[in-house]
C-alpha cells in the first residue's frame, strides 16, 4: 500500500451514502467536543479521539468528493451511482485508523454514551463494505459493486 490510488465505489445507493456520511459527521463532531469536556468519564479514549477526529480530517478532501457525488446522484434521482475519490499514499494509514475510531464511537453510541446516533444497520453494512473496498483497492485489487439489499456486503 505504498502508492496513492483512486477508490472506486460501484453501484452505491446515493441516499444511503448521504445517511452514512451524516452519521459519521455526527459521531466525529461529538467525539471532537468530548475533548473539550472537563474531568470525569469520557465515552472514548484519546486514541479513539485522535483516530476519528485527526485522522478523519486528513482524508476530508476525499470525503467531500464522495459527498458531492452522492448529492448529485440523489438530486438526479438515481438509485445507484458509481463514486470515485482519490487518496494519496499518505492518506491510507489515516483512513484505516479512522475506521477504528468510527468503530469505537459507534459502539459508544450503541451503549448510549453519546448523544449521536450509532450507524443504522444499513449504514453499518455500507461502511463495512467501503472499508473492505478501500483495503482491497489500496493493495491493487479491482473494485466490486455494492451488493443489493439482502445480499452480503464486504
pLDDT digits (tens, 9 = 90+) for 53-99: 777 778 889 999 999 999 999 999 999 999 999 999 999 998 998 89
As given in the structure block, the three cell numbers for residue 15 are: 441516499
Share of the chain above pLDDT 70, in %: 88
Instruction: Please state the rounded mean pLDDT for residues 41-55.
Output: 71
Higher pLDDT residue, 30 or 123? 123
Q: Which pLDDT band holds residue 1 (cuts at 50, 70, 90)?
A: very low
For the chain, give every domain's residue range. Answer: 5-138
At a CB cut-off of 8 Å and minimum separation 6, what does 123 contact? 16, 19, 20, 23
What is the reported pTM? 0.88
Share of the chain above pLDDT 90, in %: 62
Question: 3-state class of 12 per DSSP?
Answer: strand
Amino acid at each position: 500500500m505504498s502508492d496513492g490510488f483512486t477508490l472506486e465505489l460501484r453501484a452505491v445507493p446515493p441516499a444511503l451514502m448521504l445517511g452514512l456520511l451524516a452519521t459519521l459527521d455526527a459521531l466525529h463532531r461529538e467525539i471532537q467536543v468530548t475533548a473539550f469536556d472537563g474531568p470525569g468519564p469520557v465515552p472514548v479514549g484519546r486514541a479513539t479521539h485522535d483516530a476519528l477526529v485527526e485522522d478523519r480530517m486528513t482524508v476530508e478532501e476525499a470525503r467531500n468528493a464522495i459527498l458531492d457525488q452522492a448529492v448529485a446522484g440523489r438530486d438526479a434521482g438515481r438509485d445507484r451511482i458509481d463514486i470515485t475519490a482519490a487518496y494519496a499514499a499518505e492518506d491510507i494509514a489515516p483512513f484505516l485508523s479512522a475506521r477504528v475510531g468510527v468503530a469505537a464511537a459507534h459502539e459508544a453510541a450503541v451503549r448510549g454514551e453519546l448523544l449521536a446516533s450509532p450507524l443504522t444497520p444499513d449504514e453499518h453494512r455500507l461502511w463495512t463494505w467501503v472499508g473492505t473496498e478501500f483495503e482491497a483497492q489500496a493493495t491493487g485489487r479491482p473494485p466490486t459493486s455494492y451488493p443489493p439489499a439482502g445480499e452480503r456486503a464486504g
